[in-house]
Amino acid sequence: MRHTLLLTLFCLSGFQAYSQDFYGNGIQEVRIEFAQKNWDVKLDSLKKVNPDARLLATAWVNGQRFDSVGVRYKGNSSYFRTRNETLKKLPMNIKLDFKKKGQTLKNGQNTIKLSNAFLDPSFLRDPLSYEVIRKYMPAPQCNFAKVYLNGKYWGVYVNSESVDNAFIKKHFGIEGGQIVKCDPDNWKKVRSQTGCPKGENASLTYLNDNAGCYDAFYEVENPVAWKLLINLIKVLNKTPDQIETVLDVDQALWMLALNNALVNLDSYNGSLSHNYYLWFDSSNVAHPIIWDLNMSFGGWRRDFSFQEMTDDQLIQYSPLAEFENLRRPLISKLLKNSLYRKIYLAHLKTIVNEHLATGQLMTRAQSMIKEIDPWVKQDSLKLYTYADFQNSMDKSMKSGPDNVIGLKQLMTKRSEFLAKHPLMNKPQPTIAEPLAKKEDQKVKVTAKLTNATKGVWLFYRSKQQNAFMRAPMVDDGTNGDQAAGDGIYTTMLDSSLIKHWYVAAEGEEGAATLPERASFEYFKLD
């Protein structure tokens, strides 16, 4: 009887571990066993000779065994600088189906990405930023993992979901399309090919039509993606009035607004112009996805001349930073469009109101600190002292040549700065009483607007994978509108075209959307 009970408990325990969401609440556990005692030397050698090569190992993820996984070191600065400083805690990439195809986590993920909190004594920058971002656009899940290598506790790692086909299916409802990683594969790579102008990382600056001139700055899995990427770049730079045909503009505006609000300068917005993905859907439209946030909240503070920004410059980072910078066409080209600029500022205001001004961001940060504290304390390989971790909210830390500002030290004052900024206090149109009603083979959409002097639009789509298209809404007695001048704006569409929808309006100084978090949140046609 006793043996039967023990067996039952073991089976239940195994089932619970298998069922646990690896990117859900709580601290996860990853154990890796290498056959080689000098596994770290082997991984270093692979990183230098062939960065994509992997070392075979066995892994246990929350108690579930995975055989013949492939492990490699990952990262640029987080690997090379850490290793140069003779520190052992290096970022890792674990391919679960390296040898056994179909060997995945519960939700289909086949890759585990573990970061070493480089330039982040708090350990919070990645998970805290992603938590905010996921309110407004598709973004990876992120939490913490206790990592053991050949039986030894290797410390707390930041555990971020991979942007892969499983991620695409979860957020866009389909598999496939083309994923482009917008990050240089080698920062020191020298371009010598004839006819290639000097590029600047993944800035989406147009060079020419030759894919070979871009391959130092972007990574693709399928050569087909080069044509899609170059076409996007060409339209953005040469015919930006057609940008909605090749880019999910609203998702791009959210990405830019989030980078700005969170002072995430190790991004497209900053001096290095990287750390994001583009996913091209079946209609060849690109959807931006933010990635790698360990230096958000001012962790990277170099300006375009690579001069160190002061604390005050980080706090007062302009809402329209790089507005006229031609080396950042995604900012300069998009924000020169009046409607896009006003919607961008409306998005920024929403982020400030929901996360910064309320104090919610710091409350969540304190909760995360408390959760990982005992495990960080036991982490003898961490890149900072335990005292640095404890003080990381309120004080700047020195890490090599870098000064890492405290999260609360930065964001409390930045919240006040943004909340009072004139651009955050422009009058906006109001949108009320949205309604979509089927009439035969048509759908009639109405909404009540005030101060929408520059235009009103219905944004709509028929499939989850697609970016929203737009049609004008009118208050002139046409296109289904019952009476001109009554403040009720209307448009009619074929019912086959609309499954999801929202309304946007532009006034003299500001814009608004309903729902406020559109296009990530939207109305569904009954």
Domains contained in the chain, CATH given: 16-166 (no CATH), 430-524 (2.60.40.10)
Per residue in 272-293, pLDDT (tens digit) is: 999 999 999 999 999 999 999 9
Among 15-29, 204-218, 353-367, which is the least confidently predicted range?
Answer: 15-29
- Residue 377: pLDDT band with limits 50, 70, 90: very high
Q: What is the DSSP letter of 467?
A: P
pLDDT at 8 over 50: no
pLDDT at 259 over 90: yes
What is the structure's pLDDT at 417?
A: 98
Q: CA nearest 456: which of 443, 437, 467, 470?
A: 470
pTM (global) more than 0.85: yes
Q: To the nearest whole number, what is the mean pLDDT of the chain?
A: 93
Higher pLDDT, 9 or 195: 195
pLDDT at 19 over 50: no
What is the structure's pLDDT at 398?
A: 84
Average pLDDT over residues 482-501: 96
Determine the Cα–Cα distance for residues 99 and 67; give it in Å rounded to an integer: 8
DSSP per-residue string spanning 168-196: HHHHHS-S-SEEEEES-S-TTPPP--TT-
What is the structure's pLDDT at 526?
A: 80
What is the structure's pLDDT at 18?
A: 40
Average pLDDT over residues 114-133: 97
Reading phi first (left if > 0) and then psi (alpha if -120 to 50, else beta), residue 508 is in: alpha
Per residue in 66-94, pLDDT (tens digit) is: 999 999 999 888 999 999 998 999 999 99
Average pLDDT over residues 213-241: 95
Determine the Cα–Cα distance for residues 172 and 170; give it in Å rounded to an integer: 6
- Residue 185: pLDDT band with limits 50, 70, 90: low
What is the structure's pLDDT at 193?
A: 53
Give the contacts of 241 (CB within 8 A, at least 6 positions apart): none
pLDDT at 190 over 80: no
- Residue 1: pLDDT band with limits 50, 70, 90: very low
Q: Are the beta carbons of 318 and 307 closer than 8 angstroms?
A: no
Per residue in 334-375, pLDDT (tens digit) is: 999 999 999 999 999 999 999 999 999 999 999 999 999 999
- Residue 6: pLDDT band with limits 50, 70, 90: very low
Q: Could you give the percent of the chain with pLDDT greater than 90?
A: 86
Reading phi first (left if > 0) and then psi (alpha if -120 to 50, else beta), residue 116 is in: alpha
Per residue in 386-414, pLDDT (tens digit) is: 999 999 999 998 887 889 999 999 999 99
Per residue in 418-476, pLDDT (tens digit) is: 999 999 999 999 999 999 999 999 999 999 999 999 999 999 999 999 999 999 999 99
Q: Could you give the percent of the chain with pLDDT greater than 70?
A: 94
What is the structure's pLDDT at 170?
A: 95
What is the structure's pLDDT at 219?
A: 93
Number of residues that make up the chain? 526
Give the contacts of 171 (CB within 8 A, at least 6 positions apart): 138
pLDDT at 124 over 60: yes
What is the structure's pLDDT at 194?
A: 64
- Residue 499: pLDDT band with limits 50, 70, 90: very high
What is the structure's pLDDT at 229?
A: 98
